Structure 1
Amino acid sequence: MARQLGMGLNTILRFSRATTPEELFTGQWQSRATKLDAFKPYLDQRWQEGCTNAWKLWEEISEQGYPDGYSSVRDYVSRTLRGKPQPGGPRPPSARAVTRWILPHPDALTESDQLQLKATLANCPELETLARLVRAFAHMLTRLQGDQLPA
């Protein structure tokens, strides 16, 4: 059986003697300390604060002295943190959604889209300026007022 499965004889014997599934997953590697252990509380805190980008988390702990590569952080995030609930609150709209709200004429938006755009623009003055400039440019194009462009 060990030969057919490509496993060691002791592994096959341990599996055959196991009475519960938990007994199958015992081994030295499961409780071994890793270099990431010291940084896990920080990673957990940052995850709860809303930072869910594994690369960004790796960069942050690298600056704090984490000596290993990105893959360990990525694995920890995907196996452990992705199952934990993220902080509540609405997600910010995507760039595509904001573009879809800014580019058409304001009257062409649904009431829901108008409310979302208003909330988004209230939270970001740069987007407010962008929306104003886009609307001014559209007004010039539709009214054929190119002669009013600054020289």
Structure 2
Amino acid sequence: MEIVCRDRATAYAEAAKQAAPQAVQVADVWHLWSNLAKAVEKTVAAHYGCLRSAHESATVANEPEPPPVPDGFLDVHGRPRRIVATIRERHRAVQELRATGRSLRGISRDLDLDYYSVRRYARTANVDELLVKVTQRRTKLDDYKPYIYQRFTEGCHNARQLFREVRDQGFPGERTTVSRYVRLLREGMVTTPPLPALPKPRRAPRWILTHPERLRPDEAVGTKEIRAACPEHDATVDHVRTFAGLMHEHHGEGLPAWIARVDQEALPHLGQFANGLLHDLDAVTTGLSSPWSSGEVEGQVTRVKLLKRAGYGRAELDLLRTRILLRT
């Protein structure tokens, strides 16, 4: 029996069908897991507000003052960041033009924006999904802000002294970074203790996609917290772990039931991934049920790319061909 292992691209499926119609097509599990990971990342971004709301609610329960504006929405001077307003305005403009029937190419010309940026704005209904990665970027100072705030309230307003203290604790940044934060404290822009940092937009998906037994204690606690904060995240964790079980135990026959359960949830990104599997169901089922994968091919492609980059600008095709063929 001949096997053709491939990713889920329609062009590859058609090529394999025409070139070897008698072969069994197998969807590569690495690509399946990669597609699922992208769907999980989009799901977390879409419901990141749940984490922020739960985070702020817990803070309000312990503090009489309202929580401060999240740092990601303000610049180093405490003013609203221009990029946040720009993203909101572009998203609104694209959505309005799209509602009138304007094509993406036309919108790109009208707004003088890159086509792929316009497509991203058009496909994202909730602008908060676009703001997650921009506003939730961690800085080197985040882990040291609670200490600086505490020392400031105790009476130490000397930025140089505070810089020396956090530097001794391991702060890797520059003195100007500490000085800017101290200036915000002096000007009253920060009036409550800094909130503990939320998990990065890409950290939470990594927790969800990691086997529970391989999570560190702090990661296990973080996973438990995001599940408790948002029912959509809780459902996503269950679906991901079920899919991982089908993949590791080679139970591809359970895939239709998994797709049906996902369809019952209000998870558009995960549902889109699940429904996409229906268009290539036989190959995906076989991929989840067998040990076949395209790992060897992908490894060779990676090796060739590495050799090509190592010789870029220094040699010609003859040397590259020799190095590829004469592998050690």
Task: State the TM bucket, normalised to the shorter chain.
Answer: 0.3 to 0.5
- The normalised TM-score by structure 1 is 0.46
Higher relative contact order (CA 8 A, sep 6+): 2
- TM-score scaled by structure 2? 0.23
Q: Bigger radius of gyration, 1 or 2?
A: 1
